[in-house]
Amino acid sequence: MRAVLVTGGAGFIGSHFVKRLLGCEDISQVTVLDALTYAGHIENLGEAFLDPKLDFVEGNILDSAVVDRLVERHSHVVHFAAESHVDRSFYEAGAFLSTNVLGTRTLLNAASRLGVDKFVHVSTDEVYGPLLSGAADESAPLRPSVPYAASKAASDLVALSYHQTYGVPVCVTRSSNNYGPCQHPEKIIPLFVTRLLKGEQVTLHGSGQHMRNWLHVEDNCTGIELVLRAGTPGQIYNIGGGTDFTTKELTGHLLRLCGVDWDSVVHVPDRRCNDIRYAMTWDKITSLGYRPERDFEEGLTETVDWYRRNPDRWAPLMRNSHAARPTVALTPAGGEAHDH
Ligand code: NAD
């Protein structure tokens, strides 16, 4: 591999991925294209920001002039940039369609005209929608139920169509919920942890039986790197193997790690758009050598410690974020929302 363009590299997963790439001897150049929205922070890159192999470009994936200029200079593209927070998609769906679908198209247009060796489109298990039983493999129908998931499903289909129509060497990855350091405090784990560390209460919807698979961000990055190096163009790869927990079980772990009890939890009625369960298989990516390594208890403890040690990183974000607002009136079916 030579030069890799990483969109959204100042976000949560993208910044972990960039640090990993910078450590690879066969990669001579990593360029981050990031619009630095409320979700993107140069601080997420830490010392990697100063690495001579890294170029940082502040720009929008919808800007075809910037995108063309960058794609032309890179052999590989890994596309993370997106509006990623489910709750925001309830009241800003247009931004999700614009960035996630049209932004992806802008990148694909450049890749098809200028040529790349591989284009990895990073997506989510939420495109499969809720499953009461069983697990979705890569050929399962897409049944997204919230605007975020619908915009990701649409972008997956557009990306795959560019492989079929124009021969762009696209691979799609779909992972379960990620956790780890540097995640924006609007997402459930950092939202709960930061509130609990401040001595505030957290809200649990309904009986807290919503089931999610929690994958350490480094395990997702391992899968994405394998797909970048060895994935077959035109193929989708689910990346899972994290730990399945109900929201109530997850809350119990977070209470324990933050040293508080169930008095810190407020029970609120469930909301209609809270998908009951996501589940997928991930056998296919094992053929590329994928195996998740991170132990959940250890990874979660380390994550909570990161938030405990870095209040300067998250406290200012909470003041400006949806996570800090009472959102009952903003969500379609009532109740404060939170998802990955
Ligand atoms: P994030 O919100 O932390 O980061 C998104 C990044 O994209 C930010 O740095 C932001 O500034 C940038 N960005 C947003 N709009 C942009 C635009 N128009 N142009 C350029 N940059 C823009 O998201 P994340 O959690 O790191 O997720 C990264 C990708 O992984 C997303 O595509 C998301 O759908 C997918 N994903 C996330 C999870 C998860 O649990 N977080 C799980 C599965 C899939």
pLDDT in the model for residue 329: 34
Tell me, using a 6 A CB cutoff, whether residue 88 lines ligand 1.
Answer: no
Percent of the chain with pLDDT over 90: 87
Tell me, using a 6 A CB cutoff, whether residue 103 lines ligand 1.
Answer: yes
Using most ligand atoms within 8 A of CB, pick from 16, 80, 191, 280 the residue to mutate for ligand 1: 80
User: For residue 10, how far is its CA from the centre of ligand 1 (angstroms)?
Assistant: 9
Tell me, using a 6 A CB cutoff, whether residue 340 lines ligand 1.
Answer: yes
The pLDDT tens digits for 73-113 are 999 999 999 999 999 999 999 999 999 999 999 999 999 99
Tell me, using a 6 A CB cutoff, whether residue 210 lines ligand 1.
Answer: no
User: For residue 208, how far is its CA from the centre of ligand 1 (angstroms)?
Assistant: 26
Q: Which range (91-95, 102-106, 267-271, 296-300) has the least confidence?
A: 267-271
Any idea how long the chain is? Answer: 340
The confidence band for 316, taking pLDDT boundaries of 50, 70 and 90, is confident
Tell me, using a 6 A CB cutoff, whether residue 212 lines ligand 1.
Answer: no
Look up the pTM and report it.
0.95
Tell me, using a 6 A CB cutoff, whether residue 81 lines ligand 1.
Answer: yes
Using most ligand atoms within 8 A of CB, pick from 19, 38, 84 the residue to mutate for ligand 1: 84
User: For residue 307, how far is its CA from the centre of ligand 1 (angstroms)?
Assistant: 20
The set of catalytic residues is 125-126, 148
Percent of the chain with pLDDT over 70: 93
Has residue 332 got a pLDDT over 60? Answer: no
**Atom of ligand 1 minimally distant from the CA of 10:** 9
Phi, psi of 224 (to 5 degrees): -65, -40
Per-residue pLDDT, averaged over 201-217, amounts to 93
Has residue 331 got a pLDDT over 50? Answer: no
pLDDT in the model for residue 334: 41
Q: Return d(Cα 63, Cα 123) in angstroms, integer.
A: 21
Per-residue pLDDT, averaged over 129-134, amounts to 92
Tell me, using a 6 A CB cutoff, whether residue 16 lines ligand 1.
Answer: no
Q: Return d(Cα 208, Cα 112) in angstroms, integer.
A: 45
CB 107 within 8 A of CB 67: yes
Name the CATH superfamily housing domain 3-178+216-239.
Answer: NAD(P)-binding Rossmann-like Domain (3.40.50.720)
Has residue 273 got a pLDDT over 80? Answer: no
Using most ligand atoms within 8 A of CB, pick from 6, 7, 12 the residue to mutate for ligand 1: 12
pLDDT in the model for residue 1: 66
- CATH class for the region spanning 181-213+243-278+295-324: alpha beta
- What average pLDDT is seen over the chain? 93
pLDDT in the model for residue 286: 98
pLDDT in the model for residue 310: 95
User: For residue 171, how far is its CA from the centre of ligand 1 (angstroms)?
Assistant: 17
pLDDT in the model for residue 320: 59
User: For residue 212, how far is its CA from the centre of ligand 1 (angstroms)?
Assistant: 19
pLDDT in the model for residue 318: 78
Count other Cβ atoms within 10 Å, centred on residue 102: 15
The pLDDT tens digits for 35-52 are 999 999 999 999 999 999
Per-residue pLDDT, averaged over 181-200, amounts to 96
pLDDT in the model for residue 271: 77
What per-residue string of b and e applies to 193-213 under the rule 16 or more CB within 10 Å gives b?
Answer: bbbbbeeeebbbbbebebbbb
Q: Which two tokens stand for residue 264?
A: 């810190």
The confidence band for 333, taking pLDDT boundaries of 50, 70 and 90, is very low
Q: Return d(Cα 121, Cα 174) in angstroms, integer.
A: 9
CA–CA distances in Å: residue 317 to residues 88, 179, 314: 15, 18, 5
Count other Cβ atoms within 10 Å, centred on residue 73: 13
The confidence band for 242, taking pLDDT boundaries of 50, 70 and 90, is confident
Q: Which range (181-185, 273-277, 294-298, 331-335) has the least confidence?
A: 331-335
Has residue 327 got a pLDDT over 80? Answer: no
Q: Return d(Cα 318, Cα 29) in angstroms, integer.
A: 34
Has residue 321 got a pLDDT over 90? Answer: no
Nearest residue (by CA) to ligand 1, atom 33, is 84
pLDDT in the model for residue 207: 87
pLDDT in the model for residue 161: 98
Q: Which two tokens stand for residue 112?
A: 């098809």
Give the start-to-end residue ranges of the domains of the chain: 3-178+216-239, 181-213+243-278+295-324
pLDDT in the model for residue 328: 34
Tell me, using a 6 A CB cutoff, whether residue 284 lines ligand 1.
Answer: no
